Amino acid sequence: MAINHPSFGVMDPDRVIVFDTTLRDGEQSPGFSMNLEEKLRMAEALAELGADVLEAGFPIASPGDFESVQSIARRFAKDGPVVCGLARTSPGDIQKAAEAIKDAARGRIHTFVSTSPLHMRVKLRMEPEAVLEMVTASVTMARNATADVEWSAEDGTRTEIDFLCRCVEAAIKAGATTINIPDTVGYAVPEDMFRIFNTVRERVPGADRVIFSTHNHNDLGLAVANTIAAIRAGARQVECTINGIGERAGNASLEEIAMALRTRHDAIPVTNGVKTPNILRTSRLLATITGFDVQPNKAIVGRNAFAHESGIHQDGMLKDSSTYEIMTPESVGWTKSSLVLGKHSGRAAFKDKLKALGYEVGDNAMNDAFKRFKDLADRKKVVYDEDIVALVDDEVVRA
């Protein structure tokens, strides 16, 4: 049965909603906070990237957070992504979130409460039955403010399954239109994810009327794998951040999910609205705003993601790039792959580089230059174009 969602209308069962939380969960990582102007710039870029929902902040958290969510909601007052504000279960939180999102063309309140035995006992100091009542009360209140309500079971993957099903049932009965089961502490493995989503979707009455969402933290480096597993078990919303920023080890990375879905559509046959050629510029904008660069080997957006140094790989790349690349650099916004010259590089890449630099080299000069290049590469981590020029200048004849 197709789902009729208040913000998205009748849903294609294969369409995955991309819920970006860079501005909320992402911003919660130490040192990553953004001011209003920076949040607005990021929101603009995320909308251009094709994110369906922007979780713009946690309005009760501070006046600044409230103002950011409200400004983003006003920016998307006519069209654009759904603008979402986070709220705990208390009426004050929900009221603030409702006020902050009210000017958006499509606004969402995202309310959550912990459901795991550990969190209920230690953090909330509440009995499960009282938590269940809070689920109903908070979702009902949010639903009176807006038609688009998401409910999350915080620490959902460490929640006892029968209780999780009861909470989800209560949230759906109270009017939630999206149900999120977060892996709050990045504890689950893909098999857990698959089982939890399948069980809840099968057991809970009304589950076929709502969108199931997956929200994964990366403490074990499994956030994207868990996201894919949840999609395979029927989740149709993915919560993620640019560059994978977020609490502790971060959240599932938007760019990795988008490219996994695109590259392995054969294995995960779902669609989404991400305009992948915008990925790199969005990633760079976030890095510029926050002052945190991504690690060089980061999938998709790290500076080595499409760089090749070993001679064997470079030779393969010069023959056919599909030998060592599973997606094109252009498909995510890079202009081209790079063959980086270093001590592992071979003759083919060296010769190619000389040609690109405008040098035509005879066999003898080539042998000599290549030997000198290898000596230099043993001393330097990366050999730059200027080094090559200096190295071969007295050995070659300009083309």
Binding mask 107-146 for ligand KIV (x = CB under 6 A): -----x----------------------------------
Burial class of residue 139 in the structure, from the number of CB atoms within 10 Å of its CB (0-12 exposed, 13-18 middle, 19+ buried)? buried
Residue with Cβ nearer ligand KIV (156 or 342): 156
CA separation, residue 374 to residues 315, 344, 392 (Å): 16, 9, 13
- Asked whether position 25 contacts ligand KIV by CB under 6 A, the answer is yes
Given a contact cutoff of 8 angstroms between Cβ atoms, the answer to whether 355 and 374 are in contact is no
Q: Are strands 307-308 and 338-339 parallel, antiparallel or unpaired?
A: parallel
The reply, when asked if residue 278 is annotated as ligand binding, is no
Contact between 27 and Zn ion per CB under 5 A: no
Q: Binding partner of residue 152 among Zn ion, ligand KIV, none, CB under 5 to 8 Å per kind?
A: ligand KIV
Of 75, 108, 158, 215, which lies in the binding site for ligand KIV, with binding defined by CB under 6 A?
Answer: 215
Q: Which residue, 29 or 177, has its beta carbon nearer to Zn ion?
A: 29
3-state SS assignment for residue 237:
strand
Decide if residue 57 touches ligand KIV (CB under 6 A). Answer: no
Rounded to 5°, angle at Cα 238 from 236 and 243: 160
52 binds Zn ion (CB under 5 A): no
Closest CA to 338 of 354, 322, 353: 353
**Is 184 near ligand KIV (CB under 6 A)?**
yes
**Residue type for 117, please?**
P
Using rule CB under 5 A, residue 25 touches Zn ion: yes
Hey, CA dihedral for 199, 201, 206, 212, is it positive or negative? positive
Q: Taking contact as CB under 5 A, which single stretch among the options 24-32, 126-134, 282-290, 329-337 is the one that binds Zn ion? A: 24-32
To the question of whether residue 5 is assigned a binding role by annotation, the answer is: no
Parallel, antiparallel, or unpaired: how do β-strands 397-398 and 359-360 relate?
antiparallel
251 marked ligand binding residue: yes
- Strand-pairing partners, residue 383, are 341
Residue 227 touching ligand KIV (CB under 6 A)? no
Residues that bind ligand KIV (CB under 6 A): 25, 112, 152, 154, 180, 182, 184, 215, 217
Residues that bind Zn ion (CB under 5 A): 25
